[in-house]
Structure 1
Amino acid sequence: MPVDAPLQGLTVLERGWLSSNNILLHGAPGEGAVLVDSGHCVHAAQTLALVDHARQGETLRLLVNTHLHSDHCGGNARLQQAHAVPVRVPPGQAEAARAWDETALSYQPTGQRCERFAVHGVLQPGTALTVGSAIWQVIAAPGHDPHSVMLFEPEQGVLLSADALWENGFGVVFPELEGESAFDDVAAVLDLIERLPVRRVVPGHGAAFGDVKTALQRARQRLAAFRADPARHARHAAKVLVKYHLMEVGRQRHADLLRWAEATPLMASTQQTARDRGSLPDWSEQLVAELLASGALRQVDDWVLDA
């Protein structure tokens, strides 16, 4: 498939970095469409409008999540309110979602928001999701998140990779921040992707791409650097947490941002992984200063703003 060839049977709603991409899989006439991932709750109204436009009159029969980080399932509740759509999630997170255990679901440790939604079933690795004439294979993809899955459609060679592979890397390897080994999982998933006859990747963030070989090379180089220096990965992850928080809230007073960092459990465990021996407020101040210097954030008076 040429890189610029249109993808058949699906619509990719490419979003910014606060919200994951949303992929609408179109069914046969009368069957209804399936949505893969729903973005962040801050963008839920926009997600609903985009999905309703992309449906072109199709019913929305199912919503599935590749994993339950807040940027991939934050629109679930709004879509359920509008369409009473059932939701299927990876099996490792189904019970936590049904009980709405915000610690197990990562929202409390990361200091992020997500609106509660109902779970109706699981997206089991090793099974298939049929939408129209397309048969999407459900593939386990641990690493970034231990419960994450990808979807692969072999006829077109399309992989919905979530955060396992981006054009320029992959998502933060969250288990590593809590002392659990997961870099090997990342490597194994990259090897698995290489073995599949993938011709086009639709990542969880960023544009679809066709040069899979080069993307895998970049991802492996990044992984090798993190393996050689886990503290580097931890420091990168901490900056991602701060940046993501500012994307979520838009702006915050500098002192309140530091208080947020001090109250966020994953920031403390990430500091330990980074082997920083200072106080958490001092470390957080350093991270904010570096994000400001790089232009990732900006400051106006005592307000820190997303850039």
Structure 2
Amino acid sequence: MIALPASVRVFERGWLSSNNVLLLDDASAALVDTGYATHAPQTLALIRQTLGARPLDLIVNTHLHSDHCGGNALLQETYSCRTVIPASEGPAVRDWDEARLTFRATGQPCERFTFTGTIEPGMDLRLGALDWQVLGAPGHDPHSLMLYCADECILISADALWENGFGVIFPELEGESGFAEEQAVLEAIAQLDVRVVIPGHGAPFTNVGAALERAFSRVAWLRADPARNAKNALKVLIVFKLLDVRAMTFDALLRMLDDAAVMRAAASMLKPRSEWPALLASIVQELAAKNGPLEVEGSRISAR
């Protein structure tokens, strides 16, 4: 069992939701990231079970992918809590531009939410009776942030560092730089005194040096052949969708591939459009092989 201060509670979530980190002190309760939209009632139940009659005062979003902010709307409705988001995402949320917010581009829903403030690298936050530094974490997402508590040597890393890797490097799918930024973020983490990492997915861990070594190796592997990142992105988004809706026909999944801009960009890096049916069939078969996350029965694809 990894020791964390009493004011830090981690709700480790399985797919589809990101982990939620509840930071408590005598005066307030703050939640870092709120999970996926279809899991919002579960997120609310976890918060209610822990807080009881206390209100949730603040939501802090590390970034605005749907699995990290999908519970915002329900929690705002329930608690009338304040919400802070990465400053660079403010205009897109204010206008609710789903294309810029990646929801439509990834084929993932997110109920509209509002925000009351923004955070950016260099800021300090007092949450859970602890002081946290806001750090930039571009790579997986150009707007992503991390929170670092120097006194307790705790890093809330979002999707910049997991125990075994990191999130898909989405900017590279759109012709923008992402590998170099992920490398720089990992190098910055290596310079911090970190005892515990609370990742966006998976259990908190203390073997930070080994995790960084694996992450550096993966960046190098992806940079050597960017098609690897594109194929990984397609696999992740396909599995995510199937875990959400549980089953789809092959034709519906193919239409999604054409409609969702991020998936379309990834597929375009791998094959010309005329070969997308064969590409999708190959990826689905890979995901269904050897007790993988999907299974195929005729034209029907479902999550195990």
2:143 maps to amino acid: H
Task: Give the Å deviation of 1:131.
Answer: 2.0
Partner of 2:22: 24
Gaps of 5+ in 1: none
Task: Give the Å deviation of 1:132.
Answer: 4.3
Partner of 1:163: 159
Where do 4+ consecutive residues of structure 1 move more than 6 Å? Answer: none
TM-score by length of 2: 0.96
What is the root-mean-square deviation of aligned Cα atoms in Å?
1.5
In 2, Cα distance between equivalents of 1:302 and 1:254? 5
Is the CA contact (8 Å cut-off) linking 1:34 and 1:131 kept in structure 2? yes
The equivalent position to 1:202 in structure 2, one of 198, 205, 212, is 198
TM-score by length of 1: 0.95
Q: Mean Cα displacement is larger for which, 288-297 or 41-50?
A: 288-297
The equivalent position to 2:49 in structure 1, one of 45, 50, 53, is 53
2:21 maps to amino acid: I
1:127 counterpart = 2:123? yes
Aligned length: 303
Flag the 1:10–1:56 CA change in 2: closer, same or farther, 3 A. farther
State how 1:35-114 maps to structure 2 within 5 Å. 35-114=31-110
State how 1:250-269 maps to structure 2 within 5 Å. 250-269=246-265
Task: Give the Å deviation of 1:289.
Answer: 1.7
Is the CA contact (8 Å cut-off) linking 2:8 and 2:128 kept in structure 1? no
In 2, Cα distance between equivalents of 1:177 and 1:306? 25
The equivalent position to 1:8 in structure 2, one of 1, 6, 9, is 6
**Superimposed CA distance per residue, residues 119-158 of structure 1 (whole angstroms, 9 cap, x where no aligned partner):** 1110121111102430011111000000000001111101
In 2, Cα distance between equivalents of 1:133 and 1:16? 28
1:153 counterpart = 2:152? no
Flag the 1:40–1:132 CA change in 2: closer, same or farther, 3 A. closer
2:296 maps to amino acid: Q
Partner of 2:295: 298
Task: Give the Å deviation of 1:56.
Answer: 4.2
In 1, Cα distance between equivalents of 2:272 and 2:230? 10
**Superimposed CA distance per residue, residues 68-115 of structure 1 (whole angstroms, 9 cap, x where no aligned partner):** 000000000010111111111001111101110000000111111111
Task: Give the Å deviation of 1:276.
Answer: 5.5
Q: Secondary structure at the match of 1:82?
A: helix
Partner of 2:171: 175
Partner of 2:139: 143
In 2, Cα distance between equivalents of 1:4 and 1:265? 40
Gaps of 5+ in 2: none
State how 1:280-299 maps to structure 2 within 5 Å. 280-294=276-290, 295-299=292-296
Flag the 1:231–1:25 CA change in 2: closer, same or farther, 3 A. same
In 2, Cα distance between equivalents of 1:300 and 1:284? 15
Identity level (%): 47
Is the CA contact (8 Å cut-off) linking 1:90 and 1:149 kept in structure 2? yes
In 1, Cα distance between equivalents of 2:100 and 2:302? 29
Q: Secondary structure at the match of 1:143?
A: coil
Q: Secondary structure at the match of 1:187?
A: helix
The equivalent position to 1:273 in structure 2, one of 269, 275, 288, is 269
Partner of 1:222: 218
Is the CA contact (8 Å cut-off) linking 1:258 and 1:285 kept in structure 2? no
In 2, Cα distance between equivalents of 1:207 and 1:179? 32
2:112 maps to amino acid: R
Q: Secondary structure at the match of 1:122?
A: strand
Q: Secondary structure at the match of 1:193?
A: helix
1:84 maps to amino acid: S
Is the CA contact (8 Å cut-off) linking 2:271 and 2:279 kept in structure 1? no
Task: Give the Å deviation of 1:247.
Answer: 1.5
